[in-house]
Amino acid sequence: MLKVIAFDLDGTLTQHKTPLDDQNRNALEALSKKYTLLMVGAGQVMRIFNQMGGFPIDIIGNYGLQFGKYNHVTKQMDIVRDLTLPCDRESVANRIEQLRVKYGFTQYAGESVEYHPSGCVTFPLIGTKAKQEDKLAFDPTREKRRKFYDDVVKTFSDYVVFIGGSSSFDFAPKPYDKRYALDLYCQENGLTHDELAYCGDDYGLGGNDEAVYKSDFKFICVDDYRTFPQKIAHLL
């Protein structure tokens, strides 16, 4: 039944924000001989495309707010959807300040909030200018943020809330998440949900793959990007 195999990037196909390695590129090339391949990302289409070294694949970006089709003639991405949704920055800033005071994150480096052109928002608990080593060491297991994740979700009920990286929360305007993006893709391409499978690693509480994991899409868990070829071997 499967016609399309979709993927997360960081943690599934690559280490965080690192290039696609030869092993996983070869696995994708093998899959492409049997299936249509699709990237589904939290970031922008071009960032994903560049990180993948220009691999020929269509890309959903910003949880469905962006969509890029690979042009086999130019070997570049043609951006066919690039939505910008409104963001009430004053309301967002006030709510984040309330959370900072409530949970003791009043000391931070740089800005308290990061606003993205799409309308998505990042709440960096230790600030936008925090040192990389401090970000990585802050909450690698996500235990700190999971303790008050439900409160953040309640406070930002107009957004889909994700536990991002190791020191932040990411907000996407409702209803945009990866499940919604995949459902939209199926509608636009005349597919049923059982004709698409998704490979992801971030499927725990607050993860940006969680909505797909809990849906009726077939989900292939990739807990270590280095095991990706073994995880998809049965599809070949």
**The pLDDT value given to residue 165:** 87
Q: Is the pLDDT of residue 175 over 90?
A: yes
Q: What is the mean pLDDT of residues 106-112?
A: 97
d(CA 123, CA 144): 14
Residue 208: strand pairing partners: none
**The pLDDT value given to residue 134:** 95
Enter the tokens of residue 212.
């797909």
**The pLDDT value given to residue 57:** 98
**The pLDDT value given to residue 16:** 84
Apex CA 215: angle with CA 146 and CA 213, to 5°? 50
d(CA 132, CA 39): 26
CA 162 and chain centroid, separation:
9
Enter the tokens of residue 227.
């095991």
pTM attached to this predicted model:
0.94
Q: What is the mean pLDDT of residues 202-220?
A: 97
pLDDT of 28-55, one tens digit each? 999 999 999 999 999 999 999 999 999 9
The pLDDT mean for the chain works out to 97
Q: What is the mean pLDDT of residues 13-28?
A: 95
Q: What is the mean pLDDT of residues 155-175?
A: 96
Q: Going by DSSP bridges, is the β-strand pair 159-164/121-124 parallel, antiparallel, or unpaired?
A: unpaired
**The pLDDT value given to residue 230:** 98
Residue reference for tokens 């077939």: 218
DSSP one-letter string for 61-104: EGGGTEEEEEETTTTEEEEEEE------HHHHHHHHHHHHHHHT
Domains and CATH numbers, the chain: 4-83+176-235 (3.40.50.1000), 89-173 (3.30.1240.20)
Q: Is the pLDDT of residue 17 over 90?
A: no
Q: What is the mean pLDDT of residues 200-218?
A: 97
Residue reference for tokens 């996983």: 24
pLDDT of 111-141, one tens digit each? 999 999 999 999 999 999 999 999 999 999 9
200-231 in b/e form (b: 16+ CB < 10 A) is bbbbeebbbbbbbbebebbbbebeebeebeeb
